[in-house]
Structure 1
Amino acid sequence: MPNTVPSWLSGALKGTGPGDGRLTVARLADERTLGRGGFALTSPAFGDGEALDPCFTADEEDAVAPPLEWSAPPPGTQELALVVEDADAGEEPVCHWLVWGLAGQRGKLLEGEVPPRVGKNAHRNSEWLLPEPPPEDEAHRYVFQLFALDLPLTLMPGASREDLVKTMENHVVAAAVLTGKYKRQPEDAGEGAWDEDDFV
C-alpha cells in the first residue's frame, strides 16, 4: 500500500508523519465519507490535536483507555468500529486498539470502559495498548478512527487488525478522526520500565 497521504485526510490530521498514508482511515475512507453528515468523534479528556493525559499511557499505574463520544452517524448505519493507531511509530502505524460491536447511533465509551468486542493490538493483546513512545522522540500522534458501517460485523473477539479491515472494506458509509498526542518526559521512563524493542 503506498504511503501517499490523500489531501482529504492530511487536512483532518493534526501534523504529519511517516505512517499517515498507511492509517486504516486512508485505506477505508475517502473524501465523501470522512465527516459525512457531520459525523464526528470527540473526547471529554482531550481536544483534537491535544496531549493525552499520562493516566491513559504506560507512564502511570492503573492507566486506562480515554473516554470517547461520537455524534449520530448517517442513516442506514448498522454498526460502528474503532481503530486507534500511532501514526509516528514508523512507516507502518502501530495498532493500539481495535473495537467493534458499537451500536450504529450516537454514543460514547466511558473512561476505562470495556467495549463490546475488542481485537488484537500490536502486542497481540485484546485491550488498549498503552502509549509508550521513546523519550527522545517528539510527541507521537495517536489517531482514533471511527467507522460507520452498513452491515453488522460477525467477527469474533480477538480478531486481528487485518481481519477487521478486510471485513470493513466497501462497507464504510462515514468516518471520523480524532488525534491525541503524547510525548514522554525522561523522568517518566524509569529504569527497567521499558525495553528499546517495545516502543509503541
Structure 2
Amino acid sequence: MEPVKPVKIHLKSSAFDAGETIPEQYTCDGDDVNPGLELDNIPAATVSLAILMEDPDAPSGTWTHWLAWNIPPSQTIEENSAEGVLGKNDFGTILYQGPCPPMGTHRYFFRVYALDIKLDLPAGSTREQMLKALEFHVIGSGELMGLYSKK
C-alpha cells in the first residue's frame, strides 16, 4: 500500500508576507510573542496540528524557537497564543522565543503539520521527539519563511 502524500496547507500570516521581514514585536527586540498564523486547505481528517519554528542559519546549526502539538484543527493560530502542548526550544524554555540572530539576516521557517492522531508526548519534549512521534501521521503540511536582522 502506498503512503498517502500529504496535502499542501497554505500557511500565511497577517503580520508579514512570505520572504519578508518579521515585524519586531515577534522578536527578542520586541514583545517576543508568536505571530498569528492562518491555515487554508487543512485536510478534513485532521485530528490535531503541530507547529515548528526554526532558524537554519544559526551559527551552531538549526535552532528551534517554537514547537507545539495537539493543537485543535483550526484555520487560525492566534497571535501570542500557547495552544496545544508546548515543547522545549533550543533556549531551554517551554514557550515561543522569536527571532534573535547574533548577526546578519537569518531565515525563520514556520512549519505546520496536520496529523491523523494526537501525539502522546509530554510537555517539554524536544524537536527530535516531536518529529519522531509525528512520523507516518502527517496528512498535510505547510511552510512560511520570514527574515529578521537584530537591531
Structure number with greater CO (CA < 8 Å, separation at least 6) is 2
- Structure with higher Rg: it is 1
Q: Aligned partners of 1:174, 1:63: CA distance in 2, in Å?
A: 28
More helix by share: 1
Match of 1:193 in 2: none
The letter for the 2-side match of 1:112 is: N
Name which of 78, 84, 96 aligns with 1:110. 78
Secondary structure in 2 matching 1:134:
coil
Match of 1:131 in 2: 99
Counting matched residue pairs gives 147
Taking the TM superposition and a 5 Å limit, the aligned residue runs for 1:32-181 are 32-33=5-6, 36=7, 38-60=8-30, 62-90=31-59, 92-104=61-73, 106-135=74-103, 137=104, 139-181=105-147
> What CA deviation, in whole Å up to 9, does each residue of 1:105-160 have, x standing for no partner?
x321222112221100001101112211123x2x2110000011111112121111
> What CA deviation, in whole Å up to 9, does each residue of 1:171-196 have, x standing for no partner?
11111000011012xxx3xxxxxxxx
Deviation at 1:91, TM superposition (A): 7.0
Question: What is the root-mean-square deviation of aligned Cα atoms in Å?
Answer: 1.6
Runs of 4+ residues deviating >3 angstroms = none
State whether residues 115 and 137 of structure 2, in contact with CA within 8 Å, keep that contact through their aligned partners in structure 1. yes
The letter for the 1-side match of 2:97 is: L
Deviation at 1:49, TM superposition (A): 0.8
Secondary structure in 1 matching 2:129:
helix
> What CA deviation, in whole Å up to 9, does each residue of 1:18-46 have, x standing for no partner?
xxxxxxxxxxxxxx42xx2x521110100
> What CA deviation, in whole Å up to 9, does each residue of 1:13-72 have, x standing for no partner?
xxxxxxxxxxxxxxxxxxx42xx2x52111010011110111111112x33111111124
Runs of 5+ consecutive residues of structure 1 not aligned to the other structure: 1-31, 189-200
State whether residues 33 and 97 of structure 2, in contact with CA within 8 Å, keep that contact through their aligned partners in structure 1. no
Runs of 5+ consecutive residues of structure 2 not aligned to the other structure: none
Deviation at 1:92, TM superposition (A): 3.0
Deviation at 1:90, TM superposition (A): 4.4
The letter for the 2-side match of 1:53 is: P
Q: Aligned partners of 2:133, 2:62: CA distance in 1, in Å?
A: 19
Q: Aligned partners of 1:173, 1:91: CA distance in 2, in Å?
A: 31
Q: Aligned partners of 2:136, 2:33: CA distance in 1, in Å?
A: 32
Give the TM-score of the pair, scaled to structure 1.
Answer: 0.69
